[in-house]
Structure 1
Amino acid sequence: MLSKITRLRKNRQFEYSPRYYDGQGKGNPYKIEPKFDQFRSTLHKQRGLKNKINNAFEDAKRKGDRNLKLRIIVIFAVLLFLALYILDFDLSIFFTE
């Protein structure tokens, strides 16, 4: 009678499959990768100063959005004039009369 209380039972087994695992064996289903890793040019490159400089030059050669530079300049100018207006900056010091 004491053996029924102290005896360890065998663990139950359940068939568990993760919710988003397709079963095709495409890697680890629990591995979380950032969404844009495949588009990053600096990911999985060799380290070192020379490689970092070469990667920076390659990134600078790529053409991005054509309107990006214009948009940044306009935003910067608006913020600059807004800051000058708030500070009540007088532009007459640059003009001689």
Structure 2
Amino acid sequence: MRNFLKLRGNRTFEYKPRYYKGEGSPFKIEHKLDKYRSTATSNRGLKNKFSSAFDDLKTEGDRNLKIRFLIILAVLVLLFLYIIDFDLSIFFKP
């Protein structure tokens, strides 16, 4: 009865990656783009986080990427409207 109430502990293993030859710890989780992002720094306070996020929005991005995104978005919206059989004639009354 005494062993029934006692919970087993978790097993521990000593894992060493076989083929990892990179820098630093292979177990450290870090996003690849964090070093380029200004909002990933340790900004304390809500106001500082919002101001740094707005500063990132003000920077100009790639124009071709924006145009490609808008074209893909328009095609997907039109495809969705075609699938649900939306009638566009309600906007164009002769």
Give the TM-score band, short-chain normalised: 0.5 to 0.7
1:88–1:39 Cα change, 3 Å:
same
1:64–1:42 Cα change, 3 Å:
same
Any stretches of 5+ residues in structure 2 without a counterpart? 1-17
Distance 1:49 1:70 in 2: 33
| TM-score (normalizing by structure 1) | 0.61
CA-based RMSD: 2.4
1:20–1:53 Cα change, 3 Å:
same
* 1:8-87 pair list within 5 angstroms: 20=21, 29=25, 32-34=28-30, 35-87=32-84
Aligned residue for 2:38, secondary structure, equals coil
* Residue 51 (structure 1) shift: 0.3
Any stretches of 5+ residues in structure 1 without a counterpart? 1-17, 23-27
Identity %: 51
* Residue 29 (structure 1) shift: 4.1
